[in-house]
Chain A
Amino acid sequence: MLVFIVRRLLYSIPVLLATSFLIFTAVSLSGDPAARLKANPRYSPALIKQIEHKYKLDKPIVERYWFWLKDVTTNKLGVSLNTNQPIWPDIKRVMGHTAQLIVTSSIIAILIGVFVGVYSAIRQYSIFDYTATSLSFLGFAMPTFWLALLLQILFVNIYLKWDVRIFYTSGLNNPDEGTFSLDRIQHLGLPVATLVIIDFALYSRFMRASMLEVINSDYVRTARAKGLPERRVVTHHVVRNALIPLVTVIALNVGGLLGGAIVTESVFSLDGMGFYFRGKLQQLDLYAVMAWLLVTSVIIILANLLADIVYGYLDPRIRYS
């Protein structure tokens, strides 16, 4: 097991190098990273020349990449060329907010999704099953931004009409309110609800399929044949085994969650990773964009790694030789 983890970690390094090189070339070849500075009359041509030399902008792309990689790893993601501010403090701040959003919504979505999936499978072709199936098909076809906007418009109109504030429709919190306060819950309510509805579709469908696969297996028939009550068969033999593949789905969905966060946070003007990323992209702050992409790539690669390890731990049929 340890050997497997180490080998898997070592394998992640070339993947990460390739990813970062891809990101760097694609982003930095798209335009002149110093374009903003050149448009600013306060920067003299000599100063720009100096900055370009400092960031190796006058060198070939491979050399620039190498310099960037060293800069990013040793100087905490480096400095934005547009604003001359360090990037890490911003990313650290927004990462906390997005983590709060994503973790909350994932836990709720997984709980509901697992429950609905299990119940749909044991009551296959019931009214409940058909309703859940229809809802999840709707969830698959629903653009995240539209759902977010519908919720926002609904609650804006509720506020305007009856003057009650159930959920806030934009922002992260009012001044002087903490990370875990009622005020924060009122702000996060709608973004969390959006992500829950979208992810619920995925988890419930997957859980249902996984359950049906297990329910028809031989050992479940054995468990029934030896006289176990149906309830115990389902809870101890079916659900437990059907949950295992869900680990992979959750891990592979991390990228999708970050995509959902970009859209949701943009709609609700939430100071999270997605909101930050979209802003930086619109300002063409290339170094911040690259740093953001690098951080998320690392998160996704780590999530995949974690899924592999947990999966191996849960499913003893997998042997790491």
Chain B
Amino acid sequence: MTAAVAGGGIVSPPGPASEEVFEAGLEIKARSQWAYARRRFLRHRLAVGSLVVITLIFLAGAFAGQVAPYRYDQLDLTNLYHAPTTTAHHFFGTDELGRDYFSRVIYGIRTSETVGLFVAALSTVIGVLIGALAGYYGGWIDNVLMRLTDLVLTLPALAILLTFSALYGSGNKWRIAIILALFFWTGLARIVRGVFLSLREKEYVEAAKAAGAGDLRIMLRHMLPNSIGPIVVNATLTVGQAILVEAALAFLGLGIQPPTPALGALVFDGQDNPQAWWLTIFPGLTVVLIVLCVNFVGDGLRDALDPTQRRIRA
């Protein structure tokens, strides 16, 4: 008691510290966890660069109507198989009907990003739901849900996706996206289950329980925010994976069907024309660039949001 009274005059009063104190380095500016994460992410130059590139690509896709010099199905019968050139804006050349490939690729990006983002969102919801229920309740619920996850994981993935999109996809991008999402949640469900299993034993969860919080409140207010790191990282990487798989389905002719432009289908058009190399190179290169950038962003996010996790890449 005496110490507190004696020290009262020296210790600065509680409340926001003055600027001089910060400058003197006496006190550290309070930062939220998000601020720390943002700083860590911004230090990751490759990830920031990738984020810029991927944002530009996705914006170009989203505003395809404004960005593309032509419509994706606009014919130009005077310019068949035109090699890439800057005249008349045929940056990526033209195909057998004289359609501008640069425009077709941009419209293809729009399809790919729609599918990628939708699959990531839906599969994340499913994965979090299943993982959270399994990890929080344990017991037979955990058993049933995890056996289901194992079952989906033992299926030959690409073959099953091909089967479903051939039989139920009917070439529609939304249907294909839903089918992909139904098989993309397994990894996340396992991760979330693991995190919830360990969080369940934490003191603050026990405290919340003692204070009378319901299961739903504990899961949403206490456990979910603490597992947001791996969820965000996983969702980001899923965007890239979904775009890759969607492209493969379209390439094999069992995914999104023409007239909807899809990057995989554009690559397929190039197979019959090995002389017109640009028909193959550009759409494929676009897929590589998108997936590469998404993976780098995911990597940066992993470092930023989950500092405990050892970085895998150098």
Residues of A within 8 A of B (CB): 15, 18-19, 22-23, 26-27, 30-31, 124-125, 129-130, 133, 137-138, 140-146, 149-150, 152-153, 156-157, 160, 205, 209, 255-256, 258-259, 262-263, 266-267, 277-278, 281-282, 284, 289, 292-293, 296-297, 300-301, 304
Contacts and interface: CB of A to CB of B under 8 A. Distances in A.
Contacts of A157: 274-275, 277
B24 interface: no
- Label chain B's interface by main secondary structure: helix
B154 interface: yes
Interface string B301-314: 00000000000111
Interface of B: 150-151, 154-160, 162-164, 166-168, 240, 244, 247-248, 251-254, 264, 267, 270-271, 274-275, 277, 280-281, 284, 287-288, 291-292, 295-296, 312-314
Given A31-B167, A267-B271, A15 B151 contact: yes
B314 A129 contact: yes
A141 B295 contact: yes
A101 to B, nearest CB: 16
A278 B248 contact: no
A304 B168 CA distance: 29
Contacts of A300: 154-156
Contact of A26 (B163, B254, B271, B288): B163
B163 A143 contact: no
Given A141-B244, A141-B287, A259-B158, 15 more contacts: A22-B151, A27-B163, A138-B288, A141-B288, A143-B267, A143-B284, A146-B280, A157-B275, A160-B275, A209-B312, A259-B156, A277-B162, A284-B167, A293-B159, A300-B155
B264 to A, nearest CB: 7
B168 A149 contact: no
Nearest to A252: B153
Contacts of A255: 154-158
Contacts of A256: 157-158
Contacts of A284: 166-167
Nearest to B148: A18
A292 B253 CA distance: 19
